[in-house]
Amino acid sequence: VFSILRTQSKSRLVGANAPGIISPIGSCRIGFQPLPTFAPGHIGIVAKSGTLSYETVASITRSGLGQSLCIGMGGDIIAGTNMVDALRVFESDPETAGIVLVGEVGGRAEEDAADWIVDYRKRVGEKAKPIAALVGGIVAPEGRIMGHAGAWRGPGERSAKEKYAVLEAAGATMVQHPEDFGGVMKTLLSQSGRDVGKIVGNAKKQQQQRGYHTMRRRPATAPYRQESRITSNASKEQRRGLLLGPDQAPTPLEPYLSQAGVSLSDTEAPEDAFHLGVTVDRTARSPCLAVSPSTQPSQLSQRLRHFPYDWREGPTDATIKSAIAHMQLDAAPPAARAQTTALLRALAKMYTEKEAVTLSAAVSIDTPSGNLVLHQPTLHLQFDDAAFRSCARQEAIHSLRRKHLEDPAELEAETHGIVFLTLPSPAAASSTAAQPNIGTLVNGAGLAMNTLDALAFQHSGTATNFLDTGGKATAATVKKSFELILQDPRVKVIFVNIFGGLTDGGMIAEGILLAFREVDMRGLPVVVRIRGTNEGVGQRIIAESGLGLEAFDGFAEAAGRVVELANR
């Protein structure tokens, strides 16, 4: 889709997998944002995560600053409108006085934004609009997909912690939880010489004058009572990438290797091997050849280069020639250069035909023969299983998935449309580190990641799991979430942290009550925070439940209480 959008200039893609775009000052609303959370004002927001954007908006609204424009970048691998696109809009928008960025693990959108910020501050100087930012996924386990299809760290990409440092070095003021954005942005506006009182006053005037749909609260819907209601398509909403190991990868790969005339070896790659593959260039928003003259981990992040190409056309001769030059194969035997060209074309063909995310391996030149050798132990074949889940495409690829080697709790969650990851305890050698003992139940992958981060860095708490209920969660889904969390004997307290867009606060509360009726809760304390869509209904249900649930409005208070209970 994006390759076609490049051919014109009148239409823009927002998302995919985003809550949409909204201008609370009255210009537009396309999406499913929780409207009562928004207020007209002067802060521009761009976010990968929908739920984190709602948290951010709520903080900005409470501060009195309001929002000029909120852009959902989305959590997919390809973003139709990315952070730099949004920053360019915010720079030229007279209604925007300050800017907020909300990123997460995966890709380099935050790094691109940091580069833009450095250039912007040089160009504009003291007139630059203040920028605050957050990056989720700092404590995310390496090598896992954190709910969003794009929330994973690829070869040569920086971690969330490194992105945090890059943005901070560029001049963005970093926060650890979106609840802090309102106060931080007020301070930054004041420090930049802007009249905060006037900005708040203008926002208040706009809020009083507006007469369009965001001023009207939707009627509160009745809480969900269909306790067993689980849609048949629920599991299709969550995406967990399929990664084939070195012993599985040859099955789909060998036909393409045969086309390229390249042999497969079961030996480890030598030190002079080079990296070769096809993956997604998230900045160019297209597939690319990803190559490096070295496979050494200490050098790969610096020496790996992307050579993007058009999805519809495949890599051109010039693109392949540039990639081979970067691999420093100019002096290689003619047979090896020809085989490298053929292999890159074959992998690009496989990438399209098999709907892959990443295909890569280490390749070397056999000294006696001068031929190319691909080393099987280094094979990395990753596929996005949305194709299979949505309409059973690529069944042969996905039949290779080894469910018997996966965490049974994660597989059980998947059948209910829940993304669940068990987080490990520290190694024995690190026994002084805090032991995980907080079960988390959260809606939205971004909010779930940030909940883990904020518990760890603001409150010294450690979670036992990552859990995203999914946007189409029901009361039965919430009950199942409790069952999954309670399977872990390490759990001493459960933290329910909800900020609903699609997710209904009343439904979440009904699910909590359902769990208390039908699940052995082991006498564990449960701390509940429900904000967003129908938050009043959910909060009332919790307050009237008589179950001794501890309910909070603010994250800091709720998280503090959770850690207090966990440390008893």
With tokens 């005339």, the residue in question is 261
Active-site residue, selected from the candidate residues 42, 148, 177, 459: 148
Could you tell me the two tokens for 149? 């299809």
Bridge partner residues of 43 (DSSP): 67, 98
Angle, to 10 degrees, between the axis of helix 181-191 and the axis of helix 196-209? 130
Q: Is residue 177 among the annotated active site residues?
A: no
Could you tell me the two tokens for 562? 């959770």
DSSP for 340-373, please give it: HHHHHHHHHHHHHHTTEEEEEEEEEE-TTT--EE
pTM over 0.75: yes
The dihedral through the CA atoms of 94, 100, 105, 111 has a sign that is positive
What pLDDT sits at residue 154? 80
Q: What is the pLDDT along the chain (568 residues), one digit of tens a residue?
A: 888 898 999 999 999 889 999 999 888 899 989 888 999 999 999 999 999 999 999 999 999 999 999 999 999 999 999 999 999 999 999 999 999 999 999 999 999 999 999 999 999 999 999 999 999 999 988 878 888 888 888 877 899 999 999 999 999 999 999 999 999 999 999 999 999 999 999 988 887 775 544 444 444 444 433 333 323 333 333 345 688 888 899 999 999 999 999 999 999 999 999 999 999 999 999 999 999 999 988 888 789 999 999 999 999 999 999 999 999 998 889 999 999 999 999 999 999 999 999 999 999 999 889 999 999 999 999 998 888 888 889 999 989 888 777 889 999 998 898 999 999 988 754 556 678 999 999 999 999 999 999 999 999 999 999 999 987 788 999 999 999 999 999 999 999 999 988 888 999 999 999 999 999 999 999 999 999 989 999 999 999 999 989 999 999 999 999 999 999 9
Cα–Cα distances in angstroms (integers) from residue 395 to residues 248, 355, 385, 386, 387, in the given order: 15, 11, 10, 11, 9
What pLDDT sits at residue 433? 67
Give the whole-angstrom CA distance, residue 174 versus residue 306: 29
Sheet holding 419-422, edge to edge: 419-422, 465-468, 438-442, 493-500, 526-532, 550-552
DSSP state for residue 271 in the 8-state scheme: T
